[in-house]
Structure formats: structure tokens, C-alpha cells
């Protein structure tokens, strides 16, 4: 980028001024909310307003990315027929994985989650959001445009999206069928996009239950110097 191409610089207004006490309260309130987020596998078919999904996607699109390339694409699926095809493709891949590729260590690790090759939530939940990583961009003249740190950037944006959906009051499941290439074919994605993961989004079913899991305490995940 030459100096002539440099973006206009504007005042930063991202952090409203507040006292240390208010910051402490806001941080604690956010933690109290986000710690309740859990991966849900039992969804209601209750409709979710599209405007909620759109606002959460805008939040994801505000995430930082390498050289501001924004190398993500979110494909939102609510059509029952398309969801049915995604479920069929996912279960085909999962059956092969469970029968031929999964080792005993992995099966033992996921046993408490109660997962298997059946994925009915892919049809029940009102929305599936397929997240794609754009490995490179494509200019108007067809030239490939390099993307910097695309996987890291998409991971950050996906984290923002999951948190935004939770804050909106929705349940989310992060799902990575193995392999995921069938998503590119089903959703007609271009060659520069690679499936990153699939988010299942909606309200939890009445009586939905989740495993009781222990999260590592702060002293096990953070080091201060």
C-alpha cells in the first residue's frame, strides 16, 4: 500500500470513558453472561427473527483481520430442503468417520457429550451458519489477491459471532463434520473458499440438557508477569 492509498485516519471512539470501578463491574457482568454459554444439541424449531441473525453477523464482520482483508464468508441457511441436504451429507461423513477413522481415545473423549453420527439438530434448528475461510481474494479482473492470516482472522470473527448470538439469547453449537468439503458443493462456494465450521443456531428445546463440565480456573489458563 502506498501513502496515496492509505486510509483516512479518524478519531478512535471504541472505548467509552468510565471509571475503574465501572470497568470492573462491566467486565464481571460480561463474564457472568458469557460463562453461561454452552454447546446445545437439542434445539427448538421456534423461528428466530432474521434481524437478530443479521445484527450478529454485522458484529462478526467488525472483527480484526490481517491487513483488513476480512477473509470470511457466512452462508446462512434456513431453507428446510437445504438443511435436509446438509444433514444427509454430514451424517454420511460422520458414519464413515465413526466406523472407519475414529480411534478409541477420541471416542472415549467425546463419550460424555453423547455424540454419535445422527445429527437431527441440523434440520430442527431454524438457522445453520456455514463459516468459510477465503484463502485468497479475487479481484474484478480475476487476479488472486493475497489474504494475510486468513485462518486466524476467521477464528476471531467466529468467536465474535458465537458471543453475539449468545448475548442475543440464542443457543449455538459449533459443529465440524469430518470432512467438510461437501458443504462447498452443497452451498455452491467458489474455489477460494474453504469450510471452517458450521454453527447451529436457535432456541434450546424445552428441557434441553447439557453435560456438567468443569472449566479451567484463571490460574490454569493465564500467566501474569
Q: What is the pLDDT of residues 37-53, one digit of tens each?
A: 999 999 999 999 999 99
pTM of the model: 0.92
Omega before residue 179 within 30° of 0, cis: yes
What is the Cα–Cα distance from 34 to 25, expressed in whole angstroms? 14
Whether 137 has a pLDDT exceeding 60, the answer reads yes
Query: For 127, which DSSP code?
Result: E
- What is the per-residue pLDDT for 201? 98
Q: What angle do CA 75, 80, 84 make, to 5 degrees?
A: 85
C-alpha cell at position 148 = 494475510
Residue range 186-219, pLDDT digits in tens: 999 999 999 999 999 999 999 999 988 899 999 9
pLDDT of residue 7: 79
Alpha carbon distance 33, 29 (integer Å)? 6
| Domain count across the chain | 1
Please report the pLDDT score of residue 18 as a whole number. Answer: 85
Name the DSSP class of 100: I
Count of Cβ atoms closer than 10 Å to residue 216 Cβ? 8
Q: Identify whether 157 is part of a domain.
A: yes
How far is Cα 147 from Cα 166, in angstroms, rounded to an integer?
Answer: 29
The reported pLDDT for the residue numbered 1 is 41
Residue 217 lies in a domain: no
The fraction of the chain above a pLDDT of 70, given in percent, is 98
pLDDT in tens, 99-124: 887 778 877 777 777 778 899 999 99
Reading the block at residue 154, the C-alpha cell is 476467521
For cell 439469547, name the residue.
169
Q: Is 42 inside any structural domain? A: yes
Neighbours of 59 (CB within 10 A): 17
Please report which confidence band the pLDDT of residue 97 belongs to, taking 50, 70 and 90 as the band edges: confident
Count other Cβ atoms within 10 Å, centred on residue 219: 8
In DSSP terms, which residues pair with 133 in a beta bridge? 72, 194
In-domain check, residue 81: yes
> CA-CA distance, 210 to 40, in Å (whole number)?
7
The boundaries of the domain holding residue 103 are: 38-205
Q: Is residue 216 part of a domain?
A: no
118 grid coordinates: 445422527
Classify residue 181: in a domain, yes or no: yes
Domain assignment present for residue 193? The answer is: yes
C-alpha to C-alpha distance for 130 and 20, rounded to whole angstroms: 39
Inside any domain, residue 12: no
Residue whose C-alpha cell reads 478519531 in the numeric block: 11
In this structure, what CATH number is given to the domain that contains residue 162?
A: 3.40.109.10
Are 150 and 135 within 8 A, CB to CB? yes
Amino acid at each position: 500500500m502506498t501513502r496515496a492509498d492509505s486510509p483516512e485516519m479518524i478519531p478512535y471512539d471504541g472505548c467509552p470513558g468510565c471509571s475503574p470501578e465501572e470497568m470492573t463491574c462491566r467486565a464481571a457482568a460480561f463474564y457472568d453472561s458469557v460463562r453461561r454459554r454452552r454447546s446445545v444439541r437439542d434445539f427448538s424449531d421456534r423461528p428466530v427473527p432474521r434481524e437478530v441473525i443479521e445484527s450478529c453477523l454485522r458484529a462478526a464482520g467488525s472483527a480484526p483481520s490481517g491487513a483488513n482483508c476480512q477473509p470470511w464468508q457466512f452462508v446462512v441457511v434456513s431453507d428446510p430442503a437445504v438443511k435436509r441436504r446438509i444433514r444427509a451429507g454430514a451424517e454420511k461423513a460422520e458414519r464413515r468417520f465413526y466406523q472407519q477413522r475414529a480411534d478409541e481415545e477420541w471416542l472415549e473423549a467425546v463419550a460424555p457429550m453423547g455424540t454419535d453420527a445422527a445429527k437431527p439438530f441440523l434440520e430442527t434448528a431454524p438457522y445453520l451458519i456455514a463459516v468459510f475461510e477465503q484463502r485468497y481474494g479475487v479481484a474484478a479482473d480475476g487476479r488472486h489477491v493475497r489474504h494475510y492470516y486468513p485462518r486466524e482472522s476467521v477464528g476471531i470473527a467466529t468467536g465474535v459471532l458465537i458471543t453475539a448470538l449468545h448475548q442475543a439469547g440464542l443457543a449455538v453449537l459449533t459443529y465440524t463434520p469430518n470432512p467438510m468439503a461437501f458443504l462447498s458443493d452443497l452451498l455452491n462456494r467458489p474455489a477460494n473458499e474453504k469450510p471452517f465450521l458450521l454453527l447451529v443456531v436457535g432456541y434450546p428445546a424445552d428441557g434441553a440438557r447439557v453435560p456438567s463440565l468443569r472449566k479451567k480456573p484463571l490460574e490454569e489458563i493465564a500467566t501474569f508477569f
